[in-house]
Amino acid sequence: MTERRIRKYGAEVLRKPSKNVSDFGKKTQTLFRDLEETLEKVGGLGLAAPQIGVNLRAFVALDKEKGKIFKIVNPEIVFVDSETVIDMEGCLSFPEIFFAIPRPKRVVVKGYTDSGKSITIEASDILARCFAHEIDHLNGVLIIDHASRQEKEFWKEKISQLVAISKK
């Protein structure tokens, strides 16, 4: 397993829609080991492949209540609860920056496990937020896209620093 560098806001890979995974062999297993180890080291709730520079539809998410790591490939949200919750949300690609973002209280996600088994997962509350956030990453959508003009203005200097760092 290898801890990988997390790409910060401004990195091109974060804006590209990710490609479907078609091979569930050794490369995919290595990707998930790297995602899991990186997430464990940095202490987040979820991490998408583009955040470590890999343009594939794969992510890991931690369900802290159950102590379980979800490894999800080619996910799609097939149900979104009409009830939304606004909460402060951060992102490993936006360190120390938080935005008030509305997310569905509950979602149902279909996809595959890291070994290619078809799965359907119903998630609520923080796990639903995490799934929606990570699937956004796979579609090239970032938390800043959900932020208000006022929030963007508040974090303007820190965001500019991230962009400068990502260009190096």
Active-site residues, by number, are 134
Cβ-contact 141, 133 below 8 angstroms? no
Tokens standing for 51?
């955040």
Cβ-contact 59, 48 below 8 angstroms? yes
Buried b (16+ CB within 10 A) or exposed e, 49-62: bbbbebebbbbbbb
How distant, in Å, are the alpha carbons of 49, 52, 88, 155, 168 from that of 96?
A: 21, 18, 12, 10, 20
Count of Cβ atoms closer than 10 Å to residue 97 Cβ? 19
